[in-house]
Structure 1
Amino acid sequence: MRASGAVTRSTLRQQIADALRDEVLSGRLQPGREFTVKQIAEQYGVSATPVREALFDLSAQGLLESDQHRGFRVHQFSVADYRAMVEARALVMDGVIRGVFREQPPSPERQARYREALVSVRRRAEEAARAARAGDLDILIGYDLRFWRELGALAGNAYIGDFLHRLRVQAWVFAVPYLRGDADVRDWLWQGHSDLVAAVTLRDREALRAVVDHYNGHALNWADRLAAGDPDHLGAGDPARPDHAPRPPGAEEDPDPAASEA
């Protein structure tokens, strides 16, 4: 009975952590929002213990801040934080690209694993595109995170995958408050999911590097616009918003965007 209870509590802890993470990712829990263990426990109708554990889990992931006297607060990332996230993932992904192509030619086992994984990755890319066309940011975030998670699994290093996933979650947390209510959100979203899948499928190193460079350059360009506080991209009384962020040099027009922030 004790083991069963432990499993139940652990499962509840994870469910609460997942639910709160979704609230932060969706922007329903805004950066700077404060709350206590008691408030969350009452909201979900559960005891304080799994809530406290879930909140500390999210704090360890960098999404919440813990205050001994005031409870918890949703972490507020700055533009500088966002730039650092992008730069960190660019460095790691550069190493991943080199590692993916180290085995020449790939073994039959590796080829089979690639083909199987890419079926799901390609589907995620298509789903992200549909969500972007519909302007459904909630669905887009979920598909985008799954797309990168599954694509990253091809590298075969779970530690790298976890690190990059954490960065992308944090990047979305930073971006979402700027996107809610923006009618032109689709104008700036990154559109290279399918190109990335094609490059990986063909094992084209140069094409893969070009798409990844575009992905990271796009994000850094957006960060520059936010940091500059371009008046063409500000609403009255609003924080800087990424409306109509220009494409990086060399980017091609695509009337059917597959979107991603991170």
Structure 2
Amino acid sequence: MKQGAQGSAGVGVPGYAAGVARVPAQVRAADVAGSERGRAAVGGGVRGEHTHSEVPIPRPVVQRASVRGQILDALRTALVAGELQPGEVYSAPALGERFGVSATPVREAMQQLALEGAVEVVPNRGFRVVERGARELAELGEVRALIEVPVILRLARSVAVERWAELRPLAEGTVRAASSGCRAAYAEADLAFHRGVLGLSGNLQLVQVAEDLHRRSQWSLGGGAGVVRGDLVADAAEHAALLDALIARDLDVVRVLVGEHFAGA
């Protein structure tokens, strides 16, 4: 594993080997070219013409959003995988160099992660990955249970069996990801399964709140410290068992399984 770039505080970026989480070349170019095209568009018109009555052409933002989105996904993966260590400070320029983009989309992605509670701003230095202890992790699991368990039990009584059966690929996806032993891959598969279950409620606000809590719980694991492949496999097996009980409409088993699942979250 190659040593990462140095941040403004002299902190390396571990785990960033060549080619890892890099942004496609055409998108990196758009990060620069897009801004120049935008400035030209805003200037608008031929020199000497009056354009006051014309509708201004907005600066293009599609490419910038694409870069920021890719960087945000890469940073989230790095947080779960432990490549960004709790307590360490990372600078946007150093991460941008490693990703092959400018510091701006990295800084924008980091600001989003700060809103989500994954990092905190360190003035004139960069962003520190938030450290969380076992107590906060337990509290997050409790809050998740308070929100998700009643919803799942309600849905167990009202959702058609066919709708539950449609979630089978998501449950199987968690099993495959767990078998790989990749903490980051499992985190995304796990998130997709819970999103699919709660999505049956039709409450988008509920799904968004639950997803935010879910991500915080993943990051609290300190990049998977203490989590072994067997833990992931056991957690994934609970998904499959829960789905079987939901399809069978065995509410007693559903109640037990959701309680145990979140107790171990």
TM-score in terms of structure 1 length: 0.70
For residues 193-232 of structure 1, the aligned pairs below 5 Å read 193-217=239-263, 219=264
Q: Distance in 2 between matches of 1:147 and 1:98?
A: 16
CA positional deviation for 1:190: 6.1
State the number of aligned residues: 209
For residue 53 of structure 1, what is the aligned residue in structure 2?
A: 108
Q: Residues 197-226 of structure 1: CA distance to partner in whole angstroms, max 9, x if unpaired?
A: 123223443322211101122x2xxxxxxx
For residue 178 of structure 1, what is the aligned residue in structure 2?
A: 225
From 145, 151, 155, give the equivalent of 2:197: 151
Does the 8 Å contact 2:175/2:236 carry over to 1? no
CA positional deviation for 1:59: 0.8
Cα RMSD over matched residues? 2.5
Does 2:182 correspond to 1:136? Answer: yes
Q: Distance in 2 between matches of 1:21 and 1:215?
A: 23
Which amino acid counterpart does residue 170 of structure 1 have in structure 2?
R
Q: Distance in 1 between matches of 2:101 and 2:142?
A: 40
From 147, 151, 154, give the equivalent of 1:96: 151
Q: Residues 102-138 of structure 1: CA distance to partner in whole angstroms, max 9, x if unpaired?
A: 7xxx5xxx63xx635642x211212222333343333
From 166, 169, 188, give the equivalent of 2:215: 169
CA positional deviation for 1:64: 0.9
For residues 249-260 of structure 1, the aligned pairs below 5 Å read none
From 94, 115, 132, give the equivalent of 2:162: 115
Which amino acid counterpart does residue 61 of structure 2 have in structure 1?
A
Q: Distance in 2 between matches of 1:49 and 1:139?
A: 27
Which amino acid counterpart does residue 142 of structure 1 have in structure 2?
E
From 47, 51, 73, give the equivalent of 1:18: 73
Q: Distance in 1 between matches of 2:142 and 2:189?
A: 23
From 53, 61, 69, give the equivalent of 2:124: 69
Instruction: Give the match's secondary structure for 1:62.
Output: coil
CA positional deviation for 1:73: 1.0
For residue 61 of structure 2, what is the aligned residue in structure 1?
A: 6
CA positional deviation for 1:44: 2.0
- Unaligned regions of 5+ residues in structure 2, if any? 1-40, 42-56
CA positional deviation for 1:92: 0.7
Does the 8 Å contact 2:191/2:214 carry over to 1? yes
Does 2:131 correspond to 1:84? Answer: no
CA shift in 2, pair 1:8/1:24, >3 Å: same
Which amino acid counterpart does residue 22 of structure 1 have in structure 2?
T
Which amino acid counterpart does residue 52 of structure 1 have in structure 2?
R
Q: Distance in 2 between matches of 1:79 and 1:169?
A: 16
Q: Distance in 2 between matches of 1:136 and 1:51?
A: 24
Q: Distance in 1 between matches of 2:233 and 2:97?
A: 40
Sequence identity percentage: 30
- Unaligned regions of 5+ residues in structure 1, if any? 220-261
CA shift in 2, pair 1:215/1:183, >3 Å: closer
